[in-house]
Structure 1
Amino acid sequence: MSKQSVLVVDDERDIRELLTITLGRMDLEVDAASNVAEARQLLGENAYDLCFTDMRLPDGSGQDLIELIAEEHPDMPVAMITAYGNVDAAVNALKAGAFDFVSKPVDIKVLRNLVQTALRLSEERRNSEESESTPIGSRLIGSSTAMQQVRTTIGKLARSQAPVYISGESGTGKELAARLIHEQGPRAGAPFVPVNCGAIPSELMESEFFGHKKGSFTGAHADKEGLFQTAHGGTLFLDEVAELPLHMQVKLLRVIQEKAVRPIGGRGEVSVDVRILSATHKNLAELVEHGHFRQDLFYRINVIELQIPPLRDRGDDVRELADVILERLSRENGESRVSLSDEAYAALRSYTFPGNVRELENILERALAMCEGDTVQPDDLMLPDHAPRTQSAPGAPAAASTSAEAAPPPHNSDQPLDDYISNLEREAIMKALEETRYNKTAAARKLGITFRALRYKLKKLDID
């Protein structure tokens, strides 16, 4: 089996020799060029698995070489060698199609991690020539033009190490898109670590992200790895990145640039090999304008933007999604498959879905519990414009009760309304079950709901 090969392009002899020796020790064949002309000639004569190129070359720029390789050798990962701290050059290289970048002076450990990741990608490309025609991300359901474009873009993003900013409304599937970018790329075998930036208390953020050493603060009883170390070799997904406080934005920017973290109480830095994906439902550019999000961090994480369209802009994807969701819910509940009536579909199609796909799932889970047959009707959906009709005895007021005993206890303003309603439901269900000696069919009849609706509520309220 022939060795994998690497092309190194740099006008500094010391850098060429360092890379040649280091890569040779990794059992790789190495060719070196000192300028663009030599690189072009070698690229025309040989096939390489990876290319390193300096940013500044005597007869051109590394950017030119990256664009040439992207056009003529699209399956070859290319990494940019940049001057220390030159973020602009790194970002421009990634936008031009570079796989990743490494800064001078070259950190050997960082270099080896980059090479291993790039070569895995190069090998995967060779072993799956038909991948371009294979649908990517079968779990991103939808045949609309918008979703086809999203899946195509995810396929391209998976072949890079560039930071990706995923934008879109709440419930559109931003985390799912991030997982697919990870799973389709060379880091698929390593951890995917999602973190909701808005769910971590500000005072614990540094410890959570970067880790800490035993005794570094009160309560630090043992060493703890941070999220960056946990995601080493894989992907760190920063969901709701707009919620990061400014002091953490500064620290995050430094970690992304240096590819190293310093645990709280640690004496030195720890190298980390992590791809950063981020997302938020907020307008990040607008937050930058108002000084709530650092422009330099925005520039660094927003190398490539992936927009996930809202459900209302996805046409007939609603029916496709609904069918898949209902099939899954029916299977999970051990019931025969339930389908949408044409009228129910029309109601969903005309709904705006402010909560997007997540809201559709909630609506259908509720509808499955409320429908009496094997077909969901518009009233079962309980959409704002299709509220179910309450049935009253002839001549009786629709919502009135003459029984003082039937009146619910007053709501305590200190108790969340959802908890109050759940407690009322739990009491009514337990009473009906006790009165029917735990015959669920009879209890459902007594409560005036379907058996399926009772099963749904028992599961929701965690009643055994």
Structure 2
Amino acid sequence: MTAPRLLVVDDEPDLRTLYELTLLREGYEIDSAGSVAEALEHLKAGSYSAVITDMKLPDGSGLSVLRWLEQAGRPEKALVITAFGSAENAVEALKAGAYDYLTKPVDLRQFRLVVGSALGRVVPEPAPAVEDGATAPATALRLVGESPAIRAVRSLIDKVARSMAPVLVQGESGTGKELVARAIHDHGARASQRFVAVNCGAIPENLLEAEFFGYRKGAFTGANEDRQGFFQAADGGTLFLDEIGDLPLAMQSKLLRVIQERSVRPVGATAETPINVRILSATHKDLSAEVAAGRFRQDLFYRLNVIQIRVPPLRERLEDLGLISARVLARIAQDAGVSPTPRLTAGALQTLSRYGFPGNVRELENLLHRALALAGGEWIAAEDLGLPDALLDEGRSESQFAAIDTPLPVEPVAEGLTLPEQLPGDLARYLDEVERAILLRALEQHRFNRTAAAASLGLSLRQIRYRMARLAISAGDS
């Protein structure tokens, strides 16, 4: 196999030589440059497996090299070397597309580790996922929906999965923040390694340090053997810190040091242990407000919030409600051994679309669990949902009703139609008049709320819009 070819960019000859010798011993082929202009000349002349660049160069910034790679659509992984303690530069580099960063003075062991990780050479023995359900390679497919909001989330997942940049997933309780984090892991280079999920708010404060960093035998009463912490368990993989906003300030300070130094010291140990972990975090809180209130460290916030993914609440993507409900019902029915899978009637889906879902998708799952048990048939009706009228449309204006583009199941109707006494001479025109009358009636009943009117007729919003346009129906008609 051909050895990976790397480009090293640094204006200090001694450091450049040190990096070159270190990488040559690892079996890489090396080209070097002392400026942005020289680096771009090399890149235009050929391709590389990775580019390692200092941030400060005589004719510009290493970010200029990163931006050129991005604009040219080049596949090279970029590693940036920044001055010690310059968190702003590190964050800026990651946002510009760097795979990872190193701080000066560069630790050569860490240097080799990061380069190897970027090239896929650091591959610890595969370990089973820490929690059930983390092994599916197509996790993003579980983010059901075709709304613009959820499409944007899936697009961001694809982009950030390719780097080591820390990601902060922000969203209300029950929106699926851990699912987003798992998708980032499953679509990245660490997919075969551990995904360790930790709920920061569920660990007693006096146990945080031991749980996160591990401990040595005899470190405290009850420490009868050495034990790994979350960081060691996730080594080579991904550590997901859920509800990061619940960490006390003292633990935030220790976490910041671990992220910066890339090493942990177990409780009772005298030496630090190097770790290679990608950090993903999530919170339902507004961390900017927490920083302003002094409850969250600003420097840690900047480290974690390099890239932010906001998971939209369910009420902002109600057009996905039909797809999500069908997927959830299929899973619940399979677990319960119910066949065929029950379906929501148009009235039931309309009722759900009028509810605000403060608990989001998790609350929807609970509602459907109960409804499946109460329905006892192939159809789940509105009354099976158990949602009082007082909870529907509460505090919401008509503009907040999202579109429901999924075709709705039609409720069973009584057989038999009432035909006119005299057959029409122009059938097409007669059917248009009947359809227009039915649409107007439904719209008037729902105060010209097209989403609700469409649901009552078993149509999608797109379908009712098409019919209204074809039949020249406007909001002023009555």
**TM-score relative to the length of structure 1:** 0.79
Which residue number corresponds to residue 263 of structure 1? 266
> 1:211·1:224 contact (CA, 8 Å) conserved in 2?
yes
Aligned counterpart, 1:78: 78
Alignment deviations for residues 28-57 of structure 1 (CA, whole Å, 9 cap, x no partner): 211111111110110011101111100111
In the TM superposition, what whole-angstrom CA distance separates every residue of 1:245-301 from its partner, at most 9, and x where no partner exists? Answer: 000000111111111111111111111111111111111111111101111111110
8 Å Cα contact 1:213-1:266 kept in structure 2 = yes
Matched residue SS, 1:48: coil
Q: How far is 1:108 from its partner?
A: 2.5
**Equivalences for residues 298-337 of structure 1 within 5 A:** 298-336=301-339, 337=341
Q: Residue 46 in 1 paired to residue 53 in 2? A: no
Work out the CA distance in 1 between the residues paired with 2:334 and 2:40: 58
Which residue of the partner structure matches residue 90 of structure 1?
A: 90
| 1:305 match: secondary structure | strand
Deviations 1:153-193, CA, capped at 9 Å, x for gaps = 11001011111111000000000000000110111111111
Judged with a 3 Å threshold, the aligned counterparts in structure 2 of structure 1 residues 316 and 73 are, in CA distance, closer, same or farther, namely closer
Of residues 34-43 and 106-115 in structure 1, the stretch that sits farther from structure 2 once superposed is: 106-115
Indicate the residue corresponding to 1:244 in structure 2.
247
How far does residue 136 in structure 1 lie from its aligned partner after superposition?
8.0
**Letter paired with 1:29:** E
Please name the residue that 1:102 is paired with.
102
Residue 68 of structure 1 corresponds to 68
Would you say 1:347 and 2:355 are equivalent positions? no
> How far 1:386 sits from its partner (Å)?
8.4
Cα shift at 1:93: 0.7
CA offset at residue 18 of structure 1?
2.2
Report how far residue 105 of structure 1 moved: 2.0
CA displacement 1:221-240 (0-9 Å, x = unmatched): 11111111111111111100
Tell me the distance in 2 between the aligned counterparts of 1:302 and 1:296: 10
CA distance in 2, matches of 1:44, 1:385: 66
TM-score (norm 2): 0.76
Q: Is contact 1:24–1:30 with CA below 8 Å preserved after alignment?
A: yes
Q: 2:139–2:182: 8 Å Cα contact kept in structure 1?
A: no
Does the Cα contact within 8 Å between 1:117 and 1:187 map onto a contact in 2?
no
3-state SS of 1:137 partner:
helix
Is 1:194 aligned to 2:183, yes or no? Answer: no
Which of these residues, 205, 208, 221, is aligned with residue 205 of structure 1? 208
| CA RMSD, Structure 1 to Structure 2 (Å) | 1.8
Identity of aligned residues (%): 52
How far 1:114 moved relative to its partner? 1.6
1:138 match: secondary structure = helix
1:254 lines up with 2:257 in the alignment: yes
In structure 1, the residue corresponding to 2:173 is in which secondary structure? Answer: coil
* Residue 369 (structure 1) aligns with: 373
Question: Is residue 261–residue 271 contact of structure 1 (8 Å, CA) maintained in 2?
Answer: yes
Which residue in 2 is equivalent to 1:426? none
Separation in structure 1 between the aligned mates of residue 206 and residue 383 of structure 2, nearest angstrom? 47
Q: Secondary structure at the match of 1:370?
A: helix
1:154-173 maps to which residues of 2 (within 5 A)?
A: 154-173=157-176
Q: What is residue 140 of structure 2 aligned with on the other side? A: 137
Distance in 2, matches of 1:113 and 1:324, equals 42
User: What is the CA–CA distance in structure 2 between the aligned matches of 1:381 and 1:73, rounded to whole Å?
Assistant: 50
Question: Aligned pair count?
Answer: 376
Contact 1:110-1:273 at 8 Å conserved across structures: no
1:219 aligns with 2:219: no
Moved over 4 A (4+): none
For residues 197 and 376 of structure 2, the distance between their equivalents in structure 1, rounded to whole angstroms, comes to: 39
Q: Aligned to 1:31, what secondary structure does the other structure show?
A: strand
| SS at structure 2 position matched to 1:220 | coil
- Report the 3-state secondary structure (helix = DSSP H, G, I; strand = E; otherwise coil) of the residue aligned with 2:366: helix
Contact 2:9 2:32 (C-alpha < 8 Å) held by counterparts: yes
Q: 1:194 is aligned with what amino acid?
A: A
Q: What is the CA deviation profile of residues 376-397 of structure 1, one whole-angstrom value per residue up to 9, with x for unaligned ones?
A: 011111123289xxxxxxxxxx
The answer on whether the counterparts of 2:139 and 2:186 sit within 8 Å (CA) in structure 1 is: no
Q: For residues 63 and 136 of structure 1, what CA distance do their matches in structure 2 show?
A: 32
Gaps of 5+ in 1: 122-134, 388-464
CA displacement 1:6-33 (0-9 Å, x = unmatched): 1110112222222222222222211111
